[in-house]
Amino acid sequence: MELKQLRDKSADELKAHLVDLHKESFALRMQKATGQLAKTHEARRVRREIARVNTLLGQKK
């Protein structure tokens, strides 16, 4: 998701999105551990998006 779209979300929406990202991150880690992860760049994308959401949550406080 683009940064502009994330900035338009409320704090509650960002928290919900963060939960979804953590679930996706867990699923990707499990795929990596079992050797089923084909798109290795997805893990990096999710990690960075989690960092973006955390930054925006900190700014909204």
- pTM assigned to the model: 0.91
> Can you give the pLDDT at residue 47?
97
* Averaged pLDDT, 40-57: 96
* DSSP-assigned letter for residue 9: S
Per residue in 1-46, pLDDT (tens digit) is 889 999 999 999 999 999 999 999 999 999 999 999 999 999 999 9
- Tell me the Ramachandran region of residue 9: left when phi exceeds 0, alpha when psi lies from -120 to 50, beta otherwise: beta
> Taking 90 as the threshold, does the pLDDT of residue 61 lie above it?
no
The answer to whether 58 touches 11, Cβ cutoff 8 Å, is no
